[in-house]
Structure 1
Amino acid sequence: MKEIENIKEISALNPDYLGFIFWEKSKRNMTLDSIPELHETTKKVGVFVDASIQEIAAKINQYQLDIIQLHGNESVIFCKNVKKLGVEVIKVFSIDSTFNFSVVKEYVLAVDYFLFDTKGKLPGGNGITFDWNILENYHYDIPYFLSGGIGTTEIDGLKEFLKSSAANKCYGIDVNSRFEKKPGIKNKMKLQKFKKLLYEN
Protein backbone atom coordinates (compact mmCIF):
# COMPACT_ATOMS: atom_id res chain seq x y z
CA MET A 1 0.00 0.00 0.00
CA LYS A 2 1.29 3.45 -0.78
CA GLU A 3 -1.51 5.92 -1.59
CA ILE A 4 -3.82 7.49 1.00
CA GLU A 5 -7.21 6.94 -0.66
CA ASN A 6 -6.39 3.38 -1.67
CA ILE A 7 -5.21 2.61 1.87
CA LYS A 8 -8.52 3.90 3.25
CA GLU A 9 -10.49 1.96 0.63
CA ILE A 10 -8.78 -1.37 1.34
CA SER A 11 -8.77 -0.81 5.10
CA ALA A 12 -12.59 -0.73 4.89
CA LEU A 13 -12.44 -4.45 4.02
CA ASN A 14 -11.04 -5.07 7.53
CA PRO A 15 -7.94 -7.03 6.52
CA ASP A 16 -5.94 -8.56 9.34
CA TYR A 17 -2.77 -6.95 7.99
CA LEU A 18 -1.76 -4.22 5.56
CA GLY A 19 1.77 -4.15 4.22
CA PHE A 20 3.94 -1.10 3.58
CA ILE A 21 7.20 -1.60 1.70
CA PHE A 22 10.20 0.45 2.79
CA TRP A 23 12.66 -0.49 0.06
CA GLU A 24 13.58 2.24 -2.39
CA LYS A 25 14.12 -0.15 -5.31
CA SER A 26 10.53 -1.37 -5.10
CA LYS A 27 7.83 0.09 -7.34
CA ARG A 28 5.62 -0.18 -4.25
CA ASN A 29 7.97 1.86 -2.04
CA MET A 30 6.08 3.74 0.69
CA THR A 31 6.79 7.49 0.64
CA LEU A 32 3.84 8.94 2.59
CA ASP A 33 4.71 10.83 5.76
CA SER A 34 2.08 8.91 7.72
CA ILE A 35 -0.47 6.10 7.39
CA PRO A 36 -4.17 6.99 7.52
CA GLU A 37 -6.13 5.57 10.45
CA LEU A 38 -6.93 1.91 9.81
CA HIS A 39 -9.61 -0.40 11.14
CA GLU A 40 -8.79 -1.12 14.78
CA THR A 41 -8.14 -4.82 14.10
CA THR A 42 -5.78 -4.22 11.16
CA LYS A 43 -2.08 -4.48 11.93
CA LYS A 44 0.52 -2.45 10.04
CA VAL A 45 3.35 -4.46 8.54
CA GLY A 46 6.57 -2.77 7.53
CA VAL A 47 8.48 -4.67 4.83
CA PHE A 48 12.26 -4.25 4.70
CA VAL A 49 15.10 -5.68 2.63
CA ASP A 50 18.50 -5.70 4.38
CA ALA A 51 17.79 -2.41 6.14
CA SER A 52 19.74 -1.20 9.18
CA ILE A 53 18.29 -1.59 12.66
CA GLN A 54 18.31 2.21 12.93
CA GLU A 55 16.20 2.59 9.78
CA ILE A 56 13.69 0.01 10.97
CA ALA A 57 13.44 1.63 14.41
CA ALA A 58 12.82 5.03 12.80
CA LYS A 59 10.03 3.66 10.59
CA ILE A 60 8.41 1.88 13.55
CA ASN A 61 8.28 5.18 15.42
CA GLN A 62 7.13 7.23 12.42
CA TYR A 63 4.36 4.89 11.26
CA GLN A 64 3.53 3.01 14.48
CA LEU A 65 4.25 -0.32 12.80
CA ASP A 66 3.08 -3.50 14.54
CA ILE A 67 5.04 -6.10 12.63
CA ILE A 68 8.30 -6.10 10.69
CA GLN A 69 8.66 -8.36 7.66
CA LEU A 70 12.28 -9.07 6.77
CA HIS A 71 12.70 -9.91 3.11
CA GLY A 72 16.47 -9.91 2.74
CA ASN A 73 19.44 -11.84 4.09
CA GLU A 74 18.91 -10.85 7.74
CA SER A 75 20.74 -12.94 10.34
CA VAL A 76 19.24 -14.64 13.38
CA ILE A 77 20.87 -12.04 15.64
CA PHE A 78 19.43 -9.22 13.53
CA CYS A 79 15.92 -10.71 13.80
CA LYS A 80 16.28 -10.93 17.58
CA ASN A 81 17.37 -7.29 17.72
CA VAL A 82 14.32 -6.25 15.70
CA LYS A 83 12.06 -8.08 18.16
CA LYS A 84 13.66 -6.03 20.95
CA LEU A 85 12.10 -2.95 19.30
CA GLY A 86 8.72 -4.14 20.60
CA VAL A 87 7.29 -5.55 17.37
CA GLU A 88 6.52 -8.97 15.98
CA VAL A 89 8.86 -10.29 13.29
CA ILE A 90 8.14 -12.17 10.07
CA LYS A 91 11.15 -13.70 8.30
CA VAL A 92 10.69 -14.41 4.62
CA PHE A 93 12.16 -17.37 2.76
CA SER A 94 12.00 -17.73 -1.02
CA ILE A 95 10.92 -21.22 -2.03
CA ASP A 96 11.62 -23.37 -5.06
CA SER A 97 11.55 -27.13 -5.65
CA THR A 98 15.01 -27.60 -4.13
CA PHE A 99 14.40 -25.60 -0.92
CA ASN A 100 15.71 -27.27 2.24
CA PHE A 101 13.64 -26.30 5.29
CA SER A 102 16.56 -26.99 7.63
CA VAL A 103 17.76 -23.44 6.83
CA VAL A 104 14.81 -21.98 8.77
CA LYS A 105 15.56 -23.97 11.93
CA GLU A 106 18.02 -21.45 13.40
CA TYR A 107 15.36 -18.71 13.14
CA VAL A 108 12.71 -20.57 15.16
CA LEU A 109 13.55 -18.78 18.42
CA ALA A 110 14.18 -15.43 16.72
CA VAL A 111 10.91 -14.69 14.94
CA ASP A 112 7.14 -14.92 15.37
CA TYR A 113 6.24 -16.06 11.87
CA PHE A 114 7.77 -17.24 8.65
CA LEU A 115 6.54 -16.20 5.22
CA PHE A 116 7.12 -18.56 2.32
CA ASP A 117 7.22 -16.79 -1.04
CA THR A 118 8.12 -17.87 -4.56
CA LYS A 119 11.78 -17.62 -5.46
CA GLY A 120 12.03 -15.10 -8.32
CA LYS A 121 14.04 -12.20 -9.70
CA LEU A 122 12.81 -9.80 -7.01
CA PRO A 123 12.67 -10.21 -3.19
CA GLY A 124 8.87 -10.37 -3.54
CA GLY A 125 5.94 -9.40 -5.73
CA ASN A 126 6.92 -11.68 -8.59
CA GLY A 127 3.33 -12.81 -9.16
CA ILE A 128 4.01 -16.54 -9.45
CA THR A 129 3.17 -19.44 -7.14
CA PHE A 130 5.41 -22.27 -5.98
CA ASP A 131 4.46 -25.92 -5.48
CA TRP A 132 2.75 -25.83 -2.08
CA ASN A 133 3.22 -29.58 -1.67
CA ILE A 134 6.81 -28.87 -0.68
CA LEU A 135 5.41 -27.52 2.60
CA GLU A 136 4.84 -31.16 3.63
CA ASN A 137 8.54 -30.91 4.54
CA TYR A 138 7.97 -28.07 7.01
CA HIS A 139 8.02 -29.52 10.55
CA TYR A 140 8.59 -26.57 12.88
CA ASP A 141 6.15 -24.95 15.30
CA ILE A 142 6.42 -21.38 14.01
CA PRO A 143 3.27 -20.51 12.00
CA TYR A 144 3.74 -19.28 8.47
CA PHE A 145 2.11 -17.03 5.88
CA LEU A 146 1.63 -18.49 2.41
CA SER A 147 2.62 -16.05 -0.31
CA GLY A 148 3.58 -15.85 -3.97
CA GLY A 149 1.27 -15.11 -6.89
CA ILE A 150 -1.98 -16.00 -5.13
CA GLY A 151 -5.12 -14.75 -6.90
CA THR A 152 -8.73 -15.76 -7.52
CA THR A 153 -7.65 -18.44 -10.02
CA GLU A 154 -5.87 -20.24 -7.16
CA ILE A 155 -8.99 -20.47 -4.95
CA ASP A 156 -9.79 -24.13 -5.60
CA GLY A 157 -6.20 -25.21 -5.14
CA LEU A 158 -5.90 -23.04 -2.06
CA LYS A 159 -8.98 -24.59 -0.46
CA GLU A 160 -7.58 -28.06 -1.10
CA PHE A 161 -4.20 -27.07 0.28
CA LEU A 162 -5.74 -25.67 3.47
CA LYS A 163 -7.32 -29.09 4.13
CA SER A 164 -3.94 -30.83 3.86
CA SER A 165 -1.43 -31.64 6.58
CA ALA A 166 1.02 -29.26 4.87
CA ALA A 167 -1.25 -26.40 5.95
CA ASN A 168 -1.26 -27.30 9.65
CA LYS A 169 0.93 -24.31 10.47
CA CYS A 170 -0.46 -21.99 7.78
CA TYR A 171 -1.44 -18.87 9.70
CA GLY A 172 -2.47 -16.57 6.88
CA ILE A 173 -2.62 -15.93 3.15
CA ASP A 174 -0.52 -13.07 1.79
CA VAL A 175 -1.85 -11.50 -1.42
CA ASN A 176 -0.33 -8.70 -3.43
CA SER A 177 0.50 -8.41 -7.12
CA ARG A 178 -2.49 -10.34 -8.49
CA PHE A 179 -4.82 -7.75 -6.92
CA GLU A 180 -3.17 -4.61 -8.22
CA LYS A 181 -4.33 -1.99 -10.68
CA LYS A 182 -0.70 -0.88 -10.72
CA PRO A 183 2.18 -1.45 -8.27
CA GLY A 184 1.06 -0.52 -4.76
CA ILE A 185 -2.55 0.22 -5.76
CA LYS A 186 -4.98 -2.57 -4.85
CA ASN A 187 -8.27 -3.45 -6.54
CA LYS A 188 -10.98 -3.49 -3.88
CA MET A 189 -13.50 -5.45 -5.97
CA LYS A 190 -10.99 -8.21 -6.72
CA LEU A 191 -10.09 -8.47 -3.03
CA GLN A 192 -13.77 -8.63 -2.06
CA LYS A 193 -14.33 -11.40 -4.59
CA PHE A 194 -11.30 -13.35 -3.34
CA LYS A 195 -12.46 -13.09 0.28
CA LYS A 196 -15.97 -14.22 -0.65
CA LEU A 197 -14.78 -17.18 -2.71
CA LEU A 198 -12.26 -18.29 -0.10
CA TYR A 199 -14.85 -18.50 2.66
CA GLU A 200 -17.51 -20.21 0.56
CA ASN A 201 -17.98 -23.92 1.23
Structure 2
Amino acid sequence: MKLKICGMKYPENILEVGALLPDYMGFIFWEKSARYFNGTIPELIKTIKKVGVFVNQNQEEILEKVTKYNLQAVQLHGNESVEFLSELKKQLPKKIEIIKVFSADQDFDFEIIKPFESVCDFFMFDTKGKLPGGNGTTFDWTILKKYKSEKPFFLSGGIGINELKAIEEISKTNLPIYAVDINSKFEIEPGLKNKNLFSNFKRKFDVANF
Protein backbone atom coordinates (compact mmCIF):
# COMPACT_ATOMS: atom_id res chain seq x y z
CA MET A 1 0.00 0.00 0.00
CA LYS A 2 1.34 3.42 -1.00
CA LEU A 3 1.41 6.55 1.16
CA LYS A 4 0.52 10.07 0.03
CA ILE A 5 0.96 13.21 2.11
CA CYS A 6 -0.98 16.20 0.83
CA GLY A 7 -1.22 19.93 1.36
CA MET A 8 2.50 20.74 1.32
CA LYS A 9 3.37 24.43 1.20
CA TYR A 10 6.79 25.44 2.55
CA PRO A 11 10.07 24.52 0.78
CA GLU A 12 12.08 23.57 3.87
CA ASN A 13 9.20 21.47 5.21
CA ILE A 14 8.76 19.87 1.79
CA LEU A 15 12.40 18.72 1.90
CA GLU A 16 12.08 17.48 5.51
CA VAL A 17 9.03 15.41 4.68
CA GLY A 18 10.46 14.34 1.33
CA ALA A 19 13.50 12.89 3.08
CA LEU A 20 11.13 10.41 4.75
CA LEU A 21 10.15 9.08 1.30
CA PRO A 22 6.38 9.21 0.95
CA ASP A 23 5.25 7.71 -2.37
CA TYR A 24 3.20 10.77 -3.30
CA MET A 25 3.33 14.41 -2.24
CA GLY A 26 0.36 16.67 -2.94
CA PHE A 27 0.30 20.39 -3.73
CA ILE A 28 -3.02 22.22 -3.68
CA PHE A 29 -3.57 24.68 -6.54
CA TRP A 30 -7.06 25.75 -5.46
CA GLU A 31 -6.79 29.37 -4.35
CA LYS A 32 -9.50 29.16 -1.68
CA SER A 33 -7.54 26.57 0.29
CA ALA A 34 -5.50 27.54 3.35
CA ARG A 35 -2.88 25.21 1.88
CA TYR A 36 -2.85 26.91 -1.52
CA PHE A 37 0.55 26.49 -3.17
CA ASN A 38 2.10 29.03 -5.52
CA GLY A 39 5.77 28.79 -4.63
CA THR A 40 8.69 26.73 -5.86
CA ILE A 41 8.93 23.00 -5.27
CA PRO A 42 12.48 22.08 -4.27
CA GLU A 43 14.07 19.11 -5.99
CA LEU A 44 12.71 15.89 -4.54
CA ILE A 45 13.93 12.31 -4.66
CA LYS A 46 12.68 10.95 -7.97
CA THR A 47 10.65 8.14 -6.43
CA ILE A 48 8.25 10.71 -4.94
CA LYS A 49 5.39 11.50 -7.31
CA LYS A 50 4.22 15.11 -7.23
CA VAL A 51 0.44 15.50 -7.31
CA GLY A 52 -1.42 18.66 -8.25
CA VAL A 53 -4.78 19.05 -6.50
CA PHE A 54 -7.49 20.96 -8.39
CA VAL A 55 -11.12 21.89 -7.68
CA ASN A 56 -13.35 22.66 -10.68
CA GLN A 57 -10.49 24.35 -12.52
CA ASN A 58 -10.18 24.56 -16.30
CA GLN A 59 -7.99 22.30 -18.37
CA GLU A 60 -5.65 25.10 -19.37
CA GLU A 61 -4.78 25.84 -15.76
CA ILE A 62 -4.28 22.15 -14.95
CA LEU A 63 -2.03 21.63 -17.97
CA GLU A 64 -0.05 24.77 -17.13
CA LYS A 65 0.63 23.55 -13.58
CA VAL A 66 1.55 20.06 -14.80
CA THR A 67 4.20 21.58 -17.05
CA LYS A 68 5.42 24.26 -14.62
CA TYR A 69 5.87 21.90 -11.67
CA ASN A 70 6.62 18.70 -13.60
CA LEU A 71 3.73 16.90 -11.93
CA GLN A 72 3.32 13.14 -12.15
CA ALA A 73 -0.36 13.09 -11.17
CA VAL A 74 -3.43 15.31 -11.01
CA GLN A 75 -6.11 14.97 -8.34
CA LEU A 76 -9.55 16.32 -9.21
CA HIS A 77 -11.50 17.25 -6.10
CA GLY A 78 -14.51 19.03 -7.59
CA ASN A 79 -17.56 18.19 -9.69
CA GLU A 80 -15.59 17.40 -12.81
CA SER A 81 -17.61 15.42 -15.36
CA VAL A 82 -16.71 12.25 -17.23
CA GLU A 83 -16.45 14.36 -20.39
CA PHE A 84 -14.03 16.74 -18.68
CA LEU A 85 -11.79 13.88 -17.54
CA SER A 86 -11.95 12.26 -20.96
CA GLU A 87 -10.75 15.43 -22.68
CA LEU A 88 -8.12 16.09 -20.01
CA LYS A 89 -6.81 12.55 -20.41
CA LYS A 90 -6.29 13.21 -24.12
CA GLN A 91 -4.35 16.41 -23.40
CA LEU A 92 -2.11 15.06 -20.64
CA PRO A 93 1.02 13.02 -21.34
CA LYS A 94 0.17 9.32 -20.96
CA LYS A 95 2.45 8.90 -17.93
CA ILE A 96 0.44 11.41 -15.85
CA GLU A 97 -1.91 9.68 -13.42
CA ILE A 98 -5.45 10.99 -12.93
CA ILE A 99 -7.06 10.62 -9.50
CA LYS A 100 -10.80 11.40 -9.26
CA VAL A 101 -12.04 12.20 -5.77
CA PHE A 102 -15.49 11.45 -4.38
CA SER A 103 -16.78 12.76 -1.05
CA ALA A 104 -18.35 9.87 0.84
CA ASP A 105 -20.92 9.54 3.58
CA GLN A 106 -23.55 6.97 4.58
CA ASP A 107 -25.74 7.93 1.63
CA PHE A 108 -23.03 7.72 -1.02
CA ASP A 109 -24.18 5.96 -4.18
CA PHE A 110 -21.32 3.92 -5.63
CA GLU A 111 -23.17 3.65 -8.93
CA ILE A 112 -22.15 7.22 -9.81
CA ILE A 113 -18.48 6.28 -10.10
CA LYS A 114 -18.92 3.63 -12.81
CA PRO A 115 -18.78 6.01 -15.80
CA PHE A 116 -15.47 7.40 -14.49
CA GLU A 117 -13.65 4.05 -14.53
CA SER A 118 -12.36 4.47 -18.08
CA VAL A 119 -11.16 8.07 -17.70
CA CYS A 120 -9.03 7.94 -14.55
CA ASP A 121 -6.28 5.79 -13.06
CA PHE A 122 -7.47 5.87 -9.47
CA PHE A 123 -10.43 6.91 -7.37
CA MET A 124 -10.09 8.58 -4.00
CA PHE A 125 -12.71 8.47 -1.26
CA ASP A 126 -12.64 11.39 1.16
CA THR A 127 -14.96 12.54 3.93
CA LYS A 128 -17.91 14.65 2.84
CA GLY A 129 -17.65 18.01 4.62
CA LYS A 130 -17.76 21.79 4.27
CA LEU A 131 -14.54 21.85 2.24
CA PRO A 132 -13.54 19.75 -0.79
CA GLY A 133 -10.85 18.18 1.41
CA GLY A 134 -8.80 18.64 4.56
CA ASN A 135 -11.80 18.52 6.89
CA GLY A 136 -9.90 16.40 9.41
CA THR A 137 -12.59 13.78 9.93
CA THR A 138 -12.93 10.17 8.81
CA PHE A 139 -15.99 8.62 7.21
CA ASP A 140 -17.45 5.23 8.07
CA TRP A 141 -15.24 2.86 6.07
CA THR A 142 -17.81 0.07 6.32
CA ILE A 143 -19.67 1.71 3.41
CA LEU A 144 -16.78 0.57 1.21
CA LYS A 145 -18.27 -2.91 1.38
CA LYS A 146 -20.57 -1.63 -1.36
CA TYR A 147 -17.59 -0.91 -3.63
CA LYS A 148 -17.75 -3.37 -6.54
CA SER A 149 -15.24 -1.82 -8.94
CA GLU A 150 -11.78 -3.22 -9.60
CA LYS A 151 -10.38 0.30 -9.99
CA PRO A 152 -7.74 0.84 -7.25
CA PHE A 153 -8.38 3.74 -4.91
CA PHE A 154 -6.83 6.07 -2.34
CA LEU A 155 -8.35 6.12 1.15
CA SER A 156 -8.51 9.63 2.60
CA GLY A 157 -10.22 11.76 5.23
CA GLY A 158 -8.84 12.63 8.66
CA ILE A 159 -6.36 9.75 8.79
CA GLY A 160 -3.80 9.88 11.60
CA ILE A 161 -1.83 7.53 13.80
CA ASN A 162 -5.01 6.46 15.60
CA GLU A 163 -6.36 5.06 12.33
CA LEU A 164 -3.48 2.64 11.75
CA LYS A 165 -5.36 -0.25 13.35
CA ALA A 166 -8.41 0.41 11.19
CA ILE A 167 -6.18 0.57 8.10
CA GLU A 168 -4.74 -2.79 9.06
CA GLU A 169 -8.23 -4.27 9.36
CA ILE A 170 -9.54 -2.89 6.08
CA SER A 171 -6.37 -4.01 4.30
CA LYS A 172 -7.39 -7.61 5.05
CA THR A 173 -10.44 -7.26 2.81
CA ASN A 174 -10.50 -7.77 -0.95
CA LEU A 175 -10.90 -4.04 -1.56
CA PRO A 176 -8.36 -2.69 -4.10
CA ILE A 177 -6.89 -0.06 -1.75
CA TYR A 178 -3.88 1.37 -3.53
CA ALA A 179 -2.83 4.11 -1.13
CA VAL A 180 -3.58 6.05 2.05
CA ASP A 181 -3.77 9.84 1.84
CA ILE A 182 -2.90 11.94 4.92
CA ASN A 183 -2.95 15.67 5.56
CA SER A 184 -4.52 17.67 8.38
CA LYS A 185 -3.82 15.25 11.25
CA PHE A 186 -0.09 15.90 10.75
CA GLU A 187 -0.13 19.67 10.70
CA ILE A 188 1.33 22.34 12.95
CA GLU A 189 -0.65 24.83 10.84
CA PRO A 190 -2.25 24.55 7.39
CA GLY A 191 0.45 23.47 4.96
CA LEU A 192 3.15 22.96 7.60
CA LYS A 193 3.64 19.30 8.54
CA ASN A 194 5.02 17.93 11.79
CA LYS A 195 8.03 15.99 10.54
CA ASN A 196 8.39 13.89 13.71
CA LEU A 197 4.72 12.92 13.77
CA PHE A 198 4.85 11.93 10.12
CA SER A 199 8.08 9.99 10.68
CA ASN A 200 6.45 8.01 13.50
CA PHE A 201 3.40 7.26 11.36
CA LYS A 202 5.43 6.22 8.33
CA ARG A 203 7.66 3.93 10.38
CA LYS A 204 4.62 2.10 11.76
CA PHE A 205 2.95 2.14 8.32
CA ASP A 206 6.03 0.56 6.73
CA VAL A 207 6.36 -2.07 9.46
CA ALA A 208 2.72 -3.04 9.05
CA ASN A 209 3.44 -3.72 5.35
CA PHE A 210 -0.23 -3.59 4.38
Normalising by structure 2, report the TM-score: 0.92
Q: Is the 8 A contact 1:28 1:183 kept in 2?
A: yes
Residue 51 of structure 1: aligned partner: 57
Match of 1:190 in 2: 197
- Report deviation, 1:58: 0.7
Q: Counterpart of 1:40 in structure 2: which amino acid? A: K
User: Where does residue 141 of structure 2 map in the other structure?
Assistant: 132
2:72, 2:202 → 1: CA distance?
A: 23
Aligned Cα RMSD in Å? 1.0
Partner of 1:77: 83
CA contact (8 A) 1:159 1:198 kept: no
Structure 1 counterpart of 2:152, one-letter code = P
1:189 partner SS:
helix
Specify the code of the residue in structure 2 equivalent to 1:72.
G
Q: What 5-or-longer segments of structure 1 have no aligned partner?
A: none
The amino acid that maps onto 1:78 is F
Matched positions, count: 198
8 Å CA contact 1:147, 1:174 repeated in 2: yes
| Shift in Å, 1:163 | 1.1
The equivalent position to 2:188 in structure 1, one of 161, 170, 181, is: 181
Q: CA deviation at 1:133?
A: 0.9
Counterpart in 1 of 2:5?
Answer: none
Aligned AA (1:5): E
Q: Distance in 2 between matches of 1:148 and 1:15?
A: 17
Which of 38, 46, 51 lines up with 1:40 in the alignment?
46
Q: CA deviation at 1:31?
A: 1.4
Q: CA deviation at 1:198?
A: 2.4
Letter in 2 for 1:28: R
Identity of aligned residues (%): 53
8 Å contact from structure 1 (residues 91, 115) kept in 2 = yes
Question: CA offsets per residue over residues 136-178 of structure 1, 9 Å max, x none?
Answer: 111111100000000011111121111123xx21000000000
Q: Helix, strand or coil: the match of 1:108?
A: helix
TM-score, reference length from structure 1: 0.96
Mapped pair 1:154 → 2:163: yes
3-state SS in 2 of match to 1:109: helix
